Amino acid sequence: MLKSSPISSIKSPIDSSNKLLKGFLYSLYNTVFVFGREILDYKKEGKEILEGIVIAVVLYLVISMTLSFALKVEDPVAVVISGSMEPVYYRGDIIVIKGTDPKNIEIGDIVVYKRPYQDIPIVHRAINIVEEGGTLYFVTKGDNNPFEDSYFENGKKLPGVPDYAILGRSILKIPKLGYVTIFFKRLIGVRI
């Protein structure tokens, strides 16, 4: 029988580093091969998400063009970006706009218009109608604003929003769905 020497009971630092190396290789194997399969699943899911985005964009364009034709307005949908019309419309609400002959607009109607120096449509209530020089001017005000709107064109203040700046009337509200648009515009740095 062989007696074990006291030296054999001493653990070598190589043994502990072998355990560390085995643990590292095992982790590396799991990361590359086990999780690698999940990465392939992420690629598949990414492709499905991209397809969903493309379908959503195409669907949006088709619906937008159909609404534009049916409602007789270039941009049939707008997002409310301020609280000026609360409690009727809140920030983040989407409104559907119907093109309207300005002669058919009455005091109390909620109209949508654009200023010549601003791309964002404004949604406010017509509180008065003035006719000057064959042009109808709509005095507008947000329900939650203390003062009526001012409308300037070429540095001159007009008596109200001119009939040719009116896009139409608001006919439908979809609550809070516009927050998605507001979020993405802020994300890409568009000032609203």
Just list the catalytic residues: 84, 124, 149
- Name the β-bridge partners of 172: 96
Q: Token pair 């010549």 is at which residue?
A: 116
Report yes or no: 78 and 95 within 8 Å, Cβ to Cβ.
Answer: yes
Residue 57 burial (10 A CB sphere; 0-12, 13-18, 19+)? exposed
Positive or negative torsion for Cα 101, 106, 107, 111: negative
DSSP 83: S
